[in-house]
């Protein structure tokens, strides 16, 4: 399918047969129904619908349907690093992974730090089946010195502001960013990693780092920066999102901040729910990520944080790296792992024994839309179809052939997963 012009087909009609609806806020949650979509709009939801001749039908055992998934943290590297990923290719990966929307981070060259950069993304991604919500930089050129042109970028389509993986060392800049974003009804996202503590760290500080002789990144580096940002938020007000937490202590800090009614939300990467630091025993640079893979105790705390609502969203943190950036000695390799194509399989494999499917799907649908302040999607008659079709019972081994990203820097290859994507429907198109 050519995803560049999905809206050329204005007569997309589709019948979804015998699908279990997962829509915690909708009228059909938990029901097994047929869903008829005509010209991109849900026109009928019934126990059984007999299709007219020529209408495409999707039917398979174990089929489920939810609102379209939205990934709150992806990096498509375009412009500037197109050898790692392009917008077109990244959107194909998102579609393959079941996502009808992505929040696109500012890890480009130049970063998405002004009106022109945001408009580039908006115009290049227009008319795709996958909706793109660009995130502008928090600071000018991601230099951590001066505020970016937040208001101009918001007018051009920026959904929020973040310096992606670059920690904002200047506490005063975070303070001003929160104050300013509050005045323009937006929010900021801050990566928590105190470089004066984690400086030159490569993996989680612990038994594995000691055994492998690799410099560790203490949990303290994340937690002390998180605590600082929470205290600034408590002083300024505003809206703060922590994109990826990874430690037991961070879960506790977020939980405490929420108990004070602070406007704070957070996410976790799917692979931080499945993979622990022992994966690094073979020095595979695909497992070199930031935040790093932590301990089994940290993973259990993260899972509990999802179950009790402390953690709001699960993200792929899709971060492509070319072979020249990964096929190196461990200390020289760049951080990052692709994750869009494997995201649901990874998170569902990690969580399905402990957390209900309703809660899991909320972290991919309702919660990210609430944080981004974009319209919610409901599965009901008369609504435009923005849907993800998936099969939570499907078991398979994730292989390179499942990857459509430009690069293959995945630590999931060869692992058995449970939960597969069947299709997405959005913008009057089926993929």
Residue positions annotated with a catalytic role: 317
Contact, 129 vs 427, CB < 8 A?
Answer: yes
CA distances from 30 to 24, 269, 379, 381 (A): 8, 27, 12, 16
Can you list the positions of beta strands (E) in 243-402? 264-269, 313-315, 387-397
Contact, 67 vs 25, CB < 8 A?
Answer: no
Residues 6+ apart with CB under 8 A from 129: 3, 6, 91, 95, 100, 424, 426, 427, 429, 431
Is residue 11 exposed (0-12), middle (13-18) or buried (19+ Cβ within 10 Å)?
A: exposed
Beta bridge partners of 418: 395
Cα–Cα dist 401/399, whole Å: 5
Closest by CA to 138, choosing from 124, 153, 123, 125, is: 153
Burial call 211-239: b when 16+ CB within 10 Å, e when fewer = ebebebbbbebbbbbbbbbbebbeebebb
Please tell me whether residue 300 adopts helix, strand or coil conformation: helix
- List the structure tokens of 60: 């398979």
Start-to-end Cα distance in the chain: 7
Cα–Cα dist 263/284, whole Å: 38
Contact, 284 vs 233, CB < 8 A?
Answer: no
- List the structure tokens of 416: 């058995």
Sign of torsion over alpha carbons 353, 358, 362, 364:
positive
Residues 6+ apart with CB under 8 A from 401: none
């Amino acid at each position: 399918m050519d995803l560049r012009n999905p809206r050329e087909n204005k007569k997309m009609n589709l019948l979804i047969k015998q699908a279990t609806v997962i829509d915690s806020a909708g009228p059909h949650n938990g029901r097994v129904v047929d869903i008829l979509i005509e010209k991109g709009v849900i026109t009928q939801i019934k126990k059984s619908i007999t299709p007219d001749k020529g209408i495409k039908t999707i039917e398979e055992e174990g089929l489920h349907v939810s609102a379209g998934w939205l990934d709150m943290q992806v990096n498509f590297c375009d412009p500037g690093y197109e050898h790692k990923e392009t917008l077109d290719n990244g959107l194909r990966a998102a579609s393959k992974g079941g996502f009808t929307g992505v929040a696109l981070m500012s890890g480009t060259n130049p970063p998405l730090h002004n009106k022109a950069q945001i408009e580039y993304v908006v115009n290049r991604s227009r008319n795709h089946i996958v909706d793109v919500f660009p995130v502008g930089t928090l600071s000018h050129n991601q230099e951590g010195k001066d505020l970016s042109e937040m208001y101009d970028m918001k007018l051009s389509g920026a959904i929020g502001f973040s310096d992606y993986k670059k920690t904002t060392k200047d506490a005063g800049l975070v303070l001003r960013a929160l104050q300013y974003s509050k005045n323009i009804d937006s929010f900021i996202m801050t990566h928590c990693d105190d470089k004066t503590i984690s400086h030159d760290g490569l993996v989680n500080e612990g038994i594995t780092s000691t055994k492998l002789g690799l410099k560790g990144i203490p949990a303290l580096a994340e937690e002390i920066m998180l605590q600082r940002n929470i205290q600034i938020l408590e002083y300024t007000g505003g809206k703060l999102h922590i994109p990826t937490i990874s430690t037991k202590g961070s879960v506790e800090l977020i939980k405490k901040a929420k108990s004070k009614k602070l406007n704070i939300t957070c996410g976790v990467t799917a692979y931080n729910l499945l993979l622990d630091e022992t994966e690094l025993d073979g020095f595979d640079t695909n497992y070199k990520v930031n935040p790093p893979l932590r301990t089994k105790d940290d993973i259990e705390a993260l899972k509990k944080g999802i179950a009790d609502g402390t953690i709001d969203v699960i993200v792929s943190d899709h971060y492509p790296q070319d072979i020249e950036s990964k096929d190196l000695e461990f200390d020289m390799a760049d951080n990052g792992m692709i994750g869009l194509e494997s995201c649901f399989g990874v998170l569902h494999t990690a969580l399905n024994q402990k957390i209900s499917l309703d809660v899991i799907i909320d972290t991919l649908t309702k919660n990210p839309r609430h944080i981004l302040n974009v319209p919610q999607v409901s599965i009901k008659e008369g609504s435009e179809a923005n849907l993800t079709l998936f099969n939570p019972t499907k078991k398979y081994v994730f292989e390179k052939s499942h990857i459509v990203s430009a690069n293959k820097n995945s630590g999931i290859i060869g692992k058995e997963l449970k939960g597969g994507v069947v299709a997405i429907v959005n913008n009057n198109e089926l993929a």
